[in-house]
Structure 1
């Protein structure tokens, strides 16, 4: 086994080729079936020319990096996936594929949102985490495939999630009408509405977040998010779809009821998307006194720590002030990071995307193949130290 690994060591070129090749193939499929595979709302954000240039870049790099990996005899099977996917994408039309005007459809997948978001998230956070890591590790760390599956599902089903959240909040908001309060809030400048929206939304989310930890039936859903043994930009995606809908509904409901402007709400949505990734990032940066004002990676990392003193602390997503008001604020000594991440009882969360999806509905309380469980060395080598 050792000799085989030495002859065929892991190659970043091969894995990058595979990722870019598969992404390019998905991109071509988006051009062929835009009504079904692309998000109507997200299509308004980027241009066709941008999408074609990004697709062309992916194809060229997949071929180049895959060919180099094969010539160097490094991870040839992985490299062939990249080259083969890129070749199939070219056969299907490549960056010059023609498509007819996009017709309106009631539902569609957000495959374009997944590809573009994954590309730029990896482009930004992988280099940053390599330069300033809390712990030096490969992005292909254990269970990265599981987190990528969560990333895929939450992005591809984005329109269905938005419909579910909008329906749930609109139905409840219709029962509560405060015209005077709405008029007062909407008379404020957008920047002030935005700041208040962040505070209100964070208080709502922190209260629900604490309920996730305190109520056993909710914890069965939320435990999946805390089961990751490795913190990085991708780990924050480990959230079940039911929890996403419940959390987003609870957060947006007070903003809708109180009548915040669309600009303020959209600004909050952008902030929560950015900060959710940043808070989980493997980024060792000392923010000093800012840790009292904004939730930083170190602040949130301690919420994920396997440490008895931090079980009921740091629920806020944006503002530590919310934890201070709740009595759950705990700032560790400067420069200290958790030694270990994950749920306190690792055996209560199974390993793998599908097993975790069924976990809340299973009568079983412990699992033989659980998160963080060591696997035989031979299996680790065959799977490339992944899931």
Structure 2
């Protein structure tokens, strides 16, 4: 999990998703060597490493506190369950945390500046899924996974859920035409997440869940028409280059700006 270069992600993106995006695109005529390709490739290679180092240190510190604060009977009870049940519970618990963290990123002005980098993507594909500021990713992962560690889930279900998450994260960002049928109301699909990235008024602050779209249905934040959106990105002045994107959250902060307030739409 903590290898310096995520070779697995590179293989998945370029040997599996790129051919599928060419064979069955949801948006026709997209070039893979698009604007931002190099920047997103650097995010895949470098941001992932920065995040892993930070997350490893955070988990190590938090596990010390968890070990003393949570009774051992909690973990023993959780681990006594079947692997499949632990995996399902783990996905639900982590995605509830993801929903809370993601919605917070959209509503707190300073945090939005980190998340705006991810929303600056104007052409979604599997590679673009990696355009995330490392501190944004650290905040989301800490919020979603620390409850998992606190409850004491076994290592096997954690690995299974992590693999499912990685594949689904790439899929929902990808330019692949695939329908989930009635399951789209329960499980996050490309259609569901593309609308989260849409730079269109009706999509503002919608579809926060990462894996379970039913969470947005429950909390009243789902927006999922039949057609794909036509415009992506944000009107925030997010720079194009990798180093500038890392520095962007700390430069020129305007008080009181949120995702809702900083997006402009045609009348």
Q: TM-score, normalised by structure 1?
A: 0.62
1:223 aligns with 2:112: no
Match of 1:363 in 2: 252
- 3-state SS, counterpart of residue 331 of structure 1: coil
Match of 1:164 in 2: 57
Match for 2:238 among 344, 349, 352?
349
Which structure has more relative contact order (CA 8 Å, sep 6+)? It is 2
1:322 aligns with 2:212: no
Query: What does 1:275-290 align with in structure 2 at a 5 Å threshold?
Result: 275-290=168-183
Inter-partner Cα distance in structure 1 for 2:97 and 2:253: 31
Inter-partner Cα distance in structure 1 for 2:228 and 2:118: 19
Match for 2:191 among 298, 306, 312?
298
1:119 aligns with 2:11: yes
Query: What does 1:10-159 align with in structure 2 at a 5 Å threshold?
Result: 42=3, 110-111=4-5, 113-114=6-7, 116-135=8-27, 136-157=29-50, 159=52
Inter-partner Cα distance in structure 1 for 2:230 and 2:198: 8
Match of 2:231 in 1: 340
Q: TM-score, normalised by structure 2?
A: 0.88
Answer whether contact 1:178 1:257 (CA < 8 A) is retained: no
Answer whether contact 1:169 1:252 (CA < 8 A) is retained: no
Inter-partner Cα distance in structure 2 for 1:121 and 1:229: 18
Bigger Cα displacement from structure 2, 192-201 vs 250-259:
250-259
Inter-partner Cα distance in structure 2 for 1:215 and 1:150: 24
Match for 2:101 among 198, 208, 228?
208
Inter-partner Cα distance in structure 1 for 2:31 and 2:138: 31
Q: How many aligned residue pairs are there?
A: 253
Match for 1:178 among 63, 71, 74?
71
Inter-partner Cα distance in structure 2 for 1:325 and 1:174: 33
Inter-partner Cα distance in structure 2 for 1:363 and 1:163: 30
1:246 aligns with 2:156: no
Name stretches of at least 5 consecutive residues in structure 2 with no aligned partner. 255-267
Pick the structure with greater CA Rg: 1
Inter-partner Cα distance in structure 2 for 1:155 and 1:359: 18
Match of 2:148 in 1: 255
Residues 276 and 120 (structure 1 numbering): CA distance in 2 closer, same or farther, change over 3 Å?
Answer: closer
Inter-partner Cα distance in structure 2 for 1:172 and 1:231: 39
Inter-partner Cα distance in structure 1 for 2:196 and 2:68: 35
Inter-partner Cα distance in structure 2 for 1:162 and 1:229: 28
Inter-partner Cα distance in structure 2 for 1:172 and 1:323: 32
The CA deviation at 1:183 is 2.7
Inter-partner Cα distance in structure 2 for 1:266 and 1:331: 30
Inter-partner Cα distance in structure 1 for 2:9 and 2:222: 32
Answer whether contact 1:168 1:249 (CA < 8 A) is retained: no
Residues 279 and 194 (structure 1 numbering): CA distance in 2 closer, same or farther, change over 3 Å?
Answer: same
Inter-partner Cα distance in structure 1 for 2:71 and 2:152: 8
Deviations 1:274-316 (A, max 9, x none): 1111110001122221201210111100000011111111100
Inter-partner Cα distance in structure 1 for 2:42 and 2:124: 16
Match for 1:196 among 71, 89, 100?
89
Inter-partner Cα distance in structure 1 for 2:105 and 2:154: 29
Deviations 1:76-121 (A, max 9, x none): xxxxxxxxxxxxxxxxxxxxxxxxxxxxxxxxxx13x34x531342
The CA deviation at 1:143 is 1.1
Match of 1:233 in 2: 126
The CA RMSD over aligned residues, in Å, is: 1.9
